[in-house]
Amino acid sequence: MAAASQASLLLQKQLRDLMKNPVDGFSAGLVDDSNVFEWSVTIIGPPDTLYDGGYFNAIMSFPSNYPNSPPTVRFTSEMWHPNVYPDGRVCISILHPPGDDPNGYELASERWMPVHTVESIVLSIISMLSSPNDESPANVEAAKEWRDSRDEFKKKVSRIVRRSQEML
C-alpha cells in the first residue's frame, strides 16, 4: 500500500503544478476528485499540423506503482492516427514498460522512465500528433492510408477535427 500512497502524493503534486503553471497545448484534471489515479486530459491539436484546432479528450490511468510503471492513455474522442489503436489507446515508446523491448524495436532509453511526468507524457503525445511514426503502427489502416493515400488521410483527420470542435 505504501507504493500507492507515494504514487498518490506524486500525482497530487503534479496536478497542483499543472494548475499553478498550465502548459500550452493541453489541460488536465481528475475524472473524479476522489481518485487521483484517473485523469481527464484535453489535448489541443498542435498548430501547423493536420490536427490543428481540434480538441481531443483522453483518459490517463495511472498504476498504483507510478512512477515505476507508466500510465495508459486512451483517447475518448475520435482519433485517426497511425500510433493510436482503433479503441483509442495511445502507442508511443515512453508509455511502454521500462527496460529492453522484447521485440527489439525500441531502445531502453526510449521507453518509460520514472522521471516522466504528466506534462512530459502529454507533450510526447502532442509531438506524436505532429509526426506520426508509421514504422510500427498501432492502427495499421491509418498507417497504410498515411503512406499510400495522404489526401484521404487528411480528409478523415479534418472531419475528426471539425467534429471535435462541434463537441465544445
Residues recognised as catalytic: 91
Q: Is 105 exposed, middle or buried (0-12, 13-18, 19+ CB in 10 A)?
A: exposed
Residue identified by cell 475520435 is: 78
Calculated CA dihedral for residues 133, 117, 109, 135, nearest 10 degrees: -10
In sequence order, the 6+-apart residues with CB closer than 8 A to the CB of 164 are 45, 54, 55, 56, 77, 78
CA distance 79 to 54: 10
Residue identified by cell 498518490 is: 8
Sign of CA dihedral 53, 60, 36, 98: negative
Number of residues that make up the chain: 168
